[in-house]
Structure 1
Amino acid sequence: MLAVVGMLAFVSLFSSYTTVIDAFQLEMDLMIFDHGFTELSMPPLGLVRAQTHMPPLMFRVTLTNINLDKLQAVLEKAEDQEYLDGLKDTTQRQINIFLVRLLALAFVGGLAGPFIFGERDRKRLLIAGMIGMVVLGILLVSAYATFEPMAFMYPEFEGILEAAPWMFGLLEETLFRVRSLGEQLQLIAANMSILFEQIERLEPLGTVEGELKVAHVSDLHNNPAGMDFIKQVVRTFDIHLVIDTGDITDFGTQIEAGLAAPIELFDIPYIFIPGNHDSPDVVNRVQAIDNVTVLEEGQIEVLGLRVAGITDPSAGDSGMVVPADYVLDEFADRLQAVIDEADEAPHVVTAHHPRIARRFLGQVPVILTGHLHQVDITERDESVLINAGTTGASGIRGLQARQETPFSLVLLHYGRQAEGELYLKAADVIRVFQLQSGFSMERHLFGSVAIDDGELEFEIQEEDTEQETEDIEEP
């Protein structure tokens, strides 16, 4: 009895085994007195488990780290059968090492049980060790004999992964659409360019040709199609600068931050203001991209445009919780101090949360924000407050929504006054709809180019290869 108790204690306390399999660092554990589950834990996303074998053992595998550089190589070899066979062999070898280690622990625990209570006879201690090892061996063989991997067809989820069941059905429905979306966005961007050229010829709108074109994007939320959208707009409209008001990821993990890699290919400056979904790991990864400037608190000048901004309060950790109003107000005060201490007033103020941004109405010509996933342009007290909506169509949240959430961004056209200062001449709101296979645009005109309330709206709906202008109206 003491041998079995010692074995249970040692295995429970010391079963943890850490190993590296290619890009993945894993921790394997064995728990006794469970209901026969195998559990896969992926912090901070949660865990997935299934009842795969007879009680009383539970096998747990925890993903503790991912080498992102190696992960890229793994993904490139995902269809290489020889590589996959080698990966399978490596995994099986590590599992065997884990099992042998468990049996050794069982032997030591079985021996330690009676030893702690005064037994000193070597033969009896060896027998006790063998009893501990045999008992655990029987449990392992029982689990192996009844192990059913197909149990993971009906898994249980905890944490963020609780969303997985509906995601599986959703993926089957939308996979083809998502794969073709990049091509749709490329075609739409080209069509928008042509259409804007035609609109600028209309009278009495005049022209909005300026010295600087800025793309305001926000809330990509892990959507690669959104990054495609930005890339096509940058190329098609000859954009000089991108300002991103945050939430490039959903869960703030380094893996998600890999979404930002294509930014380097834009080959233009990219200013990033972290949002509440952008953890320190994400910020560090984005900051490593050569053409990216992360504006966490301060004022910078890029291509003659002075931009002041401050990070979202929640970007300081991985909590992703929307801050309380008083915290947002404190950050607005800090941004106010930055502006007051600057040698020159900014042309643009940026903040992910609109509560911070609204503080500067009447102080700064242009204010850029995000977070709400709804495009909006408000003119008040000689300021223009612009919310780019969600350039990633709200990510997974967009797929959950009953009504379609469009991809959206805003193009800012800057001219230069006689004294050389930049000023906003026009803002083009662009929305792209996945399900309708079309897009809508609004042009807001400011200053000397504004006509009436300075807004032009039109929509394009596409069916197959035909394109038709449905509405062109001048308010």
Structure 2
Amino acid sequence: MARVTTPRPTDGPPPLHDRPGPWTRALGLLTVVLAGAWLGLLVVGDVRIPVGPMDTTMTLRPSLTGGTKINVSPLGALRLDSHVAPVRLDVNVDQLDPDRAQALVDHPERLSGLQDEVAHDVTHGTLDLAVRSCVAVVTGATALGLAVYRRPRRALAAGGLALALLAASGVTAYATWNPKSVLEPRFSGLLTSAPSLVGNARSIVTEFDVYQKELARLVTNVTKLYDATSTLPVYAPDPSTIRVLHVSDIHLNPASWKIIASLVDQYDVDVIVDSGDTMDHGTAAENGFLDPIEDLGAPYVWVRGNHDSEVTQRHLEGLRQVHVLDDGRAETIAGLRFAGIGDPQFTPDRSGKPGAEASQELAGARLATALRDQRTAGTPVDVAVVHEPSAARETDGEVPLVLSGHLHHQEMEILKYGTRLRIEGSTGGSGLRAIEGEHPDPIETSILYLDRDTRRLQAWDEIRLGGLGLTTAEVSRHLPEENTPGAGTSSGPPSPASP
């Protein structure tokens, strides 16, 4: 009997069991859309636009965090937390137009209208970029979809989905847009040497219509940076502010003194505050490390850390320009009234020391009592200084600002009764401990701007330098959440039922 065989079809759709599932097809389409949109932005997504006297290129780039990056080659970059969306706005300052720049030099009265010109240029460039980006992502996704699927309908679906994703990103960016982000930029490169780009502390707090005016200030000062061919412009301090350099946890790093001296000169610092752990073991053999303090160019306020001994403290008390705070004793230095207390513990490793936390709280309570006594006497303290944050928290409600260290990273916190706690990082990059971990610890310090009349914090710059073997630098400007007198105006912390 002859066997009859049916030939296997060579044309037509594959059998159902060979077709990919709906989730696989959707994932494949999404991959094509994202890849095509990204390629489209790379190829045709740039917009060249003049902004004031400069020629710039604006681009949208995929990003997990969003924001804006302004590249000012070769000076460095500014990063702004302008929005939260899966796209980042990149602005490259390509060159300074000599004719437009010269016109500003010849006619300085035009600077008064620069903010309107910049706002108009940025608005025009953003609209142009939005249109070009839409065309770019649709074209890129459609072209890649046609190449992958070879079906016009599927390719058009990819283009439509790309447009929808870009529109959703735009809506998210608009909803989360933060116009004041220009006041808190993060600098990198040579721009870290020009903190005056964002203006002085008083103008930061009081300026009206902040975004346009500060954006114009950025453009104007970048113009001046380009015009200065030999050196960057120095920081011009506001006479209405007191500049405090907060350092901590130097841990015998000799490089710290040169960094501190440079910051004192660059920012015209009025007073340096060291919240302890300047040493590692507190021995007399280490005392010679402290001698450069006399030549830093500003008064040096110091409290004892858990790595500093009584021997260390006595040596510092004999140095010129040094003010040692202990037992709640208060001193007026550079127009500010300081009080502090030394760390009650002395051990390089307190993990096995019983009662360490309780002793910190007792020391903080002693300082809080001294602060109340100072206020009763009509000489309220403006800034309290301790080493450990746990001791600092005991002063809540008794002083507007308390400074500490110990944790080797930077924090800023408003405590329950209004006192602002500033925890400084390690200005010595954790000393020899920098080589213990996988990555070296950064060198961290801060410039605090306090109003000379109210003696309240107006703004602060966080300075972060790459640790051992690294050459990175970053400066970020921050503003207080609120500019109110804060704590220290009552006899003690209010009860929870008080308004």
Q: If the length of structure 2 is used for normalisation, what is the TM-score?
A: 0.48
What is the aligned partner in structure 2 of residue 390 from structure 1? 426
Note if 1:247 corresponds to 2:277.
yes
Match of 2:286 among 256, 275, 297: 256
2:471 matched residue in structure 1: 437
- Aligned with 1:280 (options 310, 323, 332): 310
**Quick one: distance in 2 between partners of 1:300 and 1:397?**
34
Q: Deviations over 1:300-328 (max 9, x none)?
A: 1112211111000025xx67636611111
Aligned twin of 1:304: 335
The equivalent position to 1:379 in structure 2, one of 407, 414, 433, is 414
Q: How far apart are residue 255 of structure 1 and its match?
A: 2.2
The aligned runs of 1:298-337 (5 Å cut-off) are 298-315=329-346, 321=350, 324-337=356-369
User: What is the identity percentage for the equivalent residue pairs of Structure 1 and Structure 2?
Assistant: 30
Name the CA distance, whole Å, in 2 between partners of 1:372 and 1:428: 19
Deviation track 1:262-321 (CA, whole Å, cap 9, x = no partner) reads 110123211010101101111111111110011012111112211111000025xx6763
- Superposed, 1:36-47 pairs within 5 Å as none
- The SS at the match of 2:360 is helix
Q: Which runs of 5+ in 1 are unaligned?
A: 1-187, 451-475
Residue type of the alignment partner of 1:406: P
CA offset at residue 442 of structure 1? 2.1
Query: Contact (CA 8 Å) 2:257, 2:296: kept in 1 or not?
Result: no
Per the TM alignment, residue 405 of structure 1 is displaced from its structure 2 partner at its CA by: 0.6
Instruction: Describe how 1:194-233 pairs up with structure 2 within 5 A.
Output: 194=194, 196-200=195-199, 203-204=210-211, 209=238, 210-233=240-263
Where 1:261 maps in the other structure, the secondary structure is helix
Give how far 1:364 is off: 1.8
| Shift, 1:403, TM fit | 2.5
SS in 1 for 2:304: coil
Equivalences for residues 334-373 of structure 1 within 5 A: 334-342=366-374, 343=377, 344-373=379-408
Asked if 1 retains the 8 angstrom alpha-carbon contact of 2:387 and 2:406, the reply is yes
From 409, 422, 442, the equivalent of 2:455 is: 422
Partner Cα distance (2:258, 2:418) in 1: 34
Cα distance change on mapping 1:357 and 1:221 into 2, 3 Å: same
Alpha-carbon deviations, 1:320-367, whole Å to 9, x = none? 636611111211121112112112221111110110001223332111
**2:300 is the counterpart of 1:270:** yes
The residue identity in structure 1 corresponding to 2:248 is S
Runs of at least 5 residues in structure 2 that lack an aligned partner in the other structure: 1-187, 205-209, 218-236, 485-499
* Structure with more contact order per residue of length (Cα contacts < 8 Å, sep ≥ 6): 2
Matches within 5 A, 1:116-265: 191-194=191-194, 196-200=195-199, 203-204=210-211, 209=238, 210-265=240-295
Q: Secondary structure at the match of 1:314?
A: coil
SS of corresponding position for 1:262: helix
- Deviation at residue 379 of structure 1 after TM alignment: 2.5
- How many Å apart are 1:189 and its aligned residue? 10
2:294–2:321 contact (8 Å) kept in structure 1: yes
Distance 2:314 2:274 in 1: 15
Amino acid at match of 2:197: Q
Query: What letter corresponds to residue 347 of structure 1 in structure 2?
Result: D
Q: Specify the code of the residue in structure 1 equivalent to 2:408.
A: H
| CA distance in 2 between partners of 1:442 and 1:241 (Å) | 20
| 1:198-238 residue CA offsets vs partner (Å, 9 max, x unmatched) | 12289438698343100010000000012221111111111
Question: Cα gap change, 1:423/1:447 in structure 2, threshold over 3 Å: closer, same or farther?
Answer: farther
Alignment partners' CA distance in 1, 2:245 and 2:314: 23
Deviation for aligned residue 1:425: 0.5
C-alpha contact (below 8 Å) 1:193/1:237 kept by paired residues: no
Q: CA RMSD in A?
A: 2.6
Counterpart-to-counterpart distance in 1, 2:407 and 2:372? 28
Report the TM-score when normalising by structure 1.
0.50
Structure with bigger strand share is: 1
Return the alpha-carbon distance in structure 1 between the equivalents of residues 389 and 254 of structure 2.
25
Distance 1:286 1:364 in 2: 26
The alpha-carbon distance between structure 1 residues 445 and 319, as it changes in their structure 2 partners (threshold 3 A), is: closer
Shift, 1:257, TM fit? 2.2
